[in-house]
A and B are shown apart, each in its own frame.
Chain A
Amino acid sequence: MEALKEKLENPVELLSSALLSGDVEVVDLTHTLDPDFPVIVLPPEFGQCARFRMEEISAYDHRGPAWKWNTFTCSEHTGTHFDAPIHWISGRDLPNNTVDSIPPEHFVGPVVVIDCSEGSAQDDDFELTPEIIAAWEAEHGRIPAESWVFMRTDWSKRHGAAYLNMRDDGPHSPGPTPEAVRFLIEKRNIRGFGTETVGTDAGQGAHYTPPYPAHFYLHGAGKYGLQCMCNLDQLPATGAMILCAPLKIKNGTGSPLRVLALVPKGGR
């Protein structure tokens, strides 16, 4: 009897039971690591983001009779990936700024989702502004401290050239304004910011002051980034939680990872 009581009071046991019963559902926010998935494109004179590549080592054959395995290579910033503060020059001197030194509890936590899908459908350069955040809070309440904020744009449903949406003047995709990022950091003390686009910044983010404000402010404040996510349309505005542990790479600036969300049943 005592044991049962303990079990019911153990929050992890409760979560496990909820997962088993389906009261809590798991949503995968991760794109498959695919050689042809777009990566950020920089001018040719700069170093480039390595694409995901896979070479077979053996497949139950003369190279290894009973086993199959591959060698894969990619950038720390290929596919659905995590940005650590050291990724940006503004965060280079912070303590615990690499994927291997970030406290593990930071990889598990609450998430709120700001739906910008309608605006993004109409405007490739749609901006997340403080006004939109204010309107969201008026409906859903104040963004809790230490929570992740995801900008839903449904951009992950785009394929091929429409994803980067590259033109002669650079890529065009939605993102936050400098003011919006500063608000989330300075007034709400969020843990990180996540997007469906190739980066946390807008496609034209280089033309803000400062350039790439999401990267500059987030990482300068020791916050994290998640990008190239999908299925954000399956998350509730509030009440979900994510698990987003990057690979433990020594001095790593980021890592491809599996981002999973725990969502209360019917909360999608």
Chain B
Amino acid sequence: MVIPLQKPPRKNPQVRTRVPTLPSHHRSRSALFMAAAAAEGRFMLQVCAEPECLAVQYPARDACSSCLSDRLIWQDVSSRGKLIATSTVRTSTNIYFRERTPWRLGTVHLEIGPSVMCHLHSEVTVGDEVQLINRLDKSGQSVLLALPMEKAPLQEDDMQLRELTCDPKFRRILITDARNPNAYALAKSLLEAGASAVFIGEAESWRPYPDRSKLESLQGVELVSLDVTDTSSVQELAGEFGGKVDILINNARFVRPGGIQGRGDVGFAMDEMQVNYFGMMRLAQAFAPAMAGRSADGVNSAVAWVNVLSAYSLVSNPGFGSFSASSAAAHSLSQCLRAEMASSGVRVVNVYCGPTEDEGHQPLPPPKVPASTLARELVKALQAGLEDVYVGDIAKDIRRKFMESPKVLEKEMTSLEAL
């Protein structure tokens, strides 16, 4: 039985905030492929490529456990199996688990062959058919957890599962840019997902914008003063609200069409860098320390930092060449932030989005990502505990081609035909 999650009471000011601890993060380099799969929520194992073998491997290794071939290919495989044994850890020398006992572990015999050790959802018992999920734990490494075949009531409330996800339920969110046309859809989706409060940063309140009254009408939304290009404003908000931000969603974006020669100046490029790159840096310098310190702070612990990036952070779209470059800078910075947040367990989630349905992309042909789709995918990713999310057909296409060959993708995007 899942114990229903209770809305956390107000914090007791006399109780010290629990210091974050992490589960073991030691893995072989081969096992990082599982972490990469977990980042996208995929269940992948190595399969021997020898035609007469085809053995599925677990754990990750460099040579086939059956025929010793080194031709092991990472593949999406079935995650179904049978729970054949369980065990409950009641104490541990590992501080992370010691603070979270009792912790259930089990052995699942996968229908594709191997038996694996995994974490258990509270709804599964010995003999059950189960499905495994591959997720990142607080140390950023891949772990497996067995879920019931059919979704249990309040399944997401399970403590061991919630340790792997960034569920907005009962958490407080900061969306950094009220002026972005996606702010309303984001706020609405997060509130529907159970967020207890959504703060939305509003820059330049002296300048009206269309969605203000819609945002104000949402129960649970609070507009706060924030301009990611203004260090003092970022610091001030972090000083006031930094300890109440459990999930930060950086949707601030400056986008204009144009590359290098068509523009003839660096004006818009400076704006793009100010918002897309320096904005993220200012936010991280101001908010990340407080979030890192609160990543073990109970039901509404700080859990995720979400960057809404462009898919063109992976490869230049010359029509938006300067914006692409600022996105690439932001993407690189987010990797740095990920490294710096690793010791806290706060997940840095990158949402790679294709061209969005807004005035910045108005002359582009469809498909374009509506704000509602971005919001839905982003919330789903938080609930599922993903680290990398690709939203929209164009982003998914770029992802596939980027994984296949970044150089071929570059050739495709920058060839004379493409222009």
Q: Which residues of A contact B (CB under 8 A)?
A: 35-36, 38, 41, 44-45, 47-48, 51, 53-56, 159-161, 163-164, 166-167
- For the A-B complex with A35-B233, A44-B359, A164-B206 known, give 6 more contacts whose Cβ atoms are closer than 8 Å: A36-B233, A38-B206, A161-B205, A163-B206, A166-B207, A167-B208
Determine how close the nearest CB of chain B comes to the CB of A58; give it in whole angstroms: 14
Q: A41-B207, A44-B359, A161-B206 are in contact. Are A35 and B230 (CB under 8 A)?
A: yes
Interface string of B351-378 (1 = CB under 8 A from A): 0000000010000000000000000000
Residue of B nearest to A158 (CB): B206
Interface string of B205-237 (1 = CB under 8 A from A): 111100000000000000001010111110000
Determine how close the nearest CB of chain A comes to the CB of B284; give it in whole angstroms: 15
Interface string of B248-259 (1 = CB under 8 A from A): 000000001000
A54–B282 alpha-carbon span in the complex (Å): 13
Q: A53-B231, A54-B231, A56-B231 are in contact. Are A48 and B205 (CB under 8 A)?
A: no
- Interface of chain A, helix or strand or loop or mixed? loop
**Cross-chain pairs A/B with CB under 8 angstroms, 12 sampled:** A38-B204, A38-B206, A44-B359, A53-B229, A54-B232, A55-B231, A159-B206, A160-B205, A160-B206, A161-B205, A161-B207, A163-B206
Q: A35-B227, A53-B231 are in contact. Are A48 and B271 (CB under 8 A)?
A: yes
A44–B208 alpha-carbon span in the complex (Å): 14
- Residues of chain A with a CB closer than 8 A to B268's CB: 47
- Give the A-B contact count at a CB cut-off of 8 A: 45
B207 touches A164 (CB 8 A): yes
- Interface of chain B, helix or strand or loop or mixed? loop
Q: Is B9 in the interface zone, CB < 8 Å from A?
A: no
Q: Is B267 in the interface zone, CB < 8 Å from A?
A: yes
Residue of B nearest to A55 (CB): B231
A-B pairs, top 6 by smallest CB distance, nearest first, are: A38-B206, A35-B230, A47-B267, A160-B206, A161-B206, A166-B208
- Residues of chain A with a CB closer than 8 A to B267's CB: 47-48
A163–B206 alpha-carbon span in the complex (Å): 7
Q: Which of B206, B225, B268, B359: most chain A CB closer than 10 A? A: B206
- Residues of chain A with a CB closer than 8 A to B208's CB: 161, 166-167
- Residues of chain B with a CB closer than 8 A to A160's CB: 205-206
A159–B227 alpha-carbon span in the complex (Å): 18
Determine how close the nearest CB of chain B comes to the CB of A35; give it in whole angstroms: 4
A45–B268 alpha-carbon span in the complex (Å): 10
Partner of B207, one of A38, A45, A56, A159: A38
- Residues of chain A with a CB closer than 8 A to B229's CB: 51, 53
- Residues of chain A with a CB closer than 8 A to B227's CB: 35-36
Residue of B nearest to A166 (CB): B208
A41–B208 alpha-carbon span in the complex (Å): 11
A163–B265 alpha-carbon span in the complex (Å): 31
- Residues of chain B with a CB closer than 8 A to A55's CB: 231
A35–B231 alpha-carbon span in the complex (Å): 9
Determine how close the nearest CB of chain B comes to the CB of A16; give it in whole angstroms: 38
Residue of A nearest to B203 (CB): A36
Residue of B nearest to A47 (CB): B267
- Residues of chain A with a CB closer than 8 A to B231's CB: 53-56
B205 touches A53 (CB 8 A): no
Determine how close the nearest CB of chain A comes to the CB of B250; give it in whole angstroms: 19
Determine how close the nearest CB of chain B comes to the CB of A54; give it in whole angstroms: 7
A50–B144 alpha-carbon span in the complex (Å): 51
- Interfacial residues of chain B within 167-222, with CB under 8 A of chain A in the complex: 204-208
Determine how close the nearest CB of chain B comes to the CB of A237; give it in whole angstroms: 31
Determine how close the nearest CB of chain B comes to the CB of A163; give it in whole angstroms: 6
- Residues of chain A with a CB closer than 8 A to B205's CB: 36, 160-161
